[in-house]
Amino acid sequence: MYKLDDIIRKAQDPKLITDEYIELYCNETNLKRAFLTNRIQDTVDAYSYTLVEHGWLNILYNGRLLSLKRGDLYLYSPGFQLSIIEGSEDYGGYCLIADGGMTLEMPTVHNLIRTSYLPIAEWGEPIVHIPDGHFSRLVDRMREIIDYQYSSHRFRSEVLRNLYTVFLLDLNDLQVRVVGSNQHSGRSTEIFVGFMRLLPVHFLEHRDIGFYASELCITTTHLSRVVRQTTGRTVMDYINQMLLMEALWLLQTTTMTLAVIADNLHFADQASFSKFFTRLKGMPPTAYRNKNGDTLKQDIT
């Protein structure tokens, strides 16, 4: 699957000149850029936070049509399905994207879990409304990230990580005020993070809950309960979505035959892979490949 570094480099942002691995990226967004994210988010290992500053946007989340307006923040976490449907011509705001691996290694990862997954687990949708006082603070934080990502600051990467941490802390503080105290124990967060770290490494060979529970030294029932309570989704949802993300990436960026892709993803045969892909994506893999091609050749900056 794509890493954030792949996407930003191939998009060729002329203002971003760095030899360092790109872990964090923020930009001002508009309707055109919003629609372009439809073509990459299913294949990228990254978290994103989009703050609506003006206009409106309709999205499809888990089969539900949701509307976003000024002050709304919508969250994308790896493994979730989110599609842009329509928006106003004046739609605009800011979008912050963070590499998945880097994010899960951050010391304040428990704040990420609450920030990115709590709205989904408690309200069933990836949207948080930001009151005016907090809204301006988040906008300032995102603008500051934009300034530093284009700077020649000697410690640019470290500064960006710290700004991302502050962004999560600000958003976490807001959610505590709105929702109340964190209902997930520290141990539950630790288990969920452990599962999310194991998944990208082992999903091709291990598609059974038992493997991940064993690696975490807990029962399958316990792991299933923690993942469901944290995100509202099942362990198998995550495993299947990881497989889908890898399949989408291979279809977009390689000329492998479907039979070879099926073998690489450890399906019994091409027919089994096609059935799996069609069930999750709503179209056969050949149709998807013909429609999308190499999406990173388009300008997303």
- Residue 113 reports pLDDT greater than 90: no
For the chain, list the domains and their CATH numbers: 4-179 (2.60.120.280), 186-294 (1.10.10.60)
The Cα 197–Cα 210 span in angstroms is: 16
Beta bridge partners of 92: 30, 54
Condensed to tens digits (0 to 9), the pLDDT of residues 215-270 reads 999 999 999 999 888 877 899 988 998 898 889 889 988 899 999 999 999 999 99
Find the mean pLDDT for residues 264-284.
Answer: 93
**The pair of three-digit structure tokens given for residue 219, joined into one six-digit string:** 């029962």
**For residue 54, pLDDT beyond 90:** yes
Percent of the chain clearing pLDDT 90 (strictly above) = 44
Helix, strand counts (H, E) of the chain: 13, 8
Give pLDDT tens digits for 141-196. Answer: 999 999 999 998 999 999 999 999 999 888 877 776 665 545 556 788 789 888 98
Residues 6+ apart with CB under 8 A from 216: 191, 194, 195, 198, 223
Token pair 């045969």: residue: 269
Give Dmax (Cα) for the chain. Answer: 55
Residues 137 and 132: their CA atoms lie apart, in Å, by 9
Distance, in Å, from the CA atom of 207 to the CA atom of 63, rounded to the nearest integer, reads: 25
Mean pLDDT of the chain: 85
Mean local confidence (pLDDT), 48-63: 90
- Burial class of 86 by CB neighbour count within 10 A (0 to 12, 13 to 18, 19+): middle
Per-residue pLDDT at 36 exceeds 60 = yes
By percentage, how much of the chain surpasses pLDDT 70? 86
Of 21, 14, 37, the residue nearest 157 (C-alpha) = 21
Higher-pLDDT residue of 129 and 275 is 275
pLDDT higher than 80, residue 208: yes
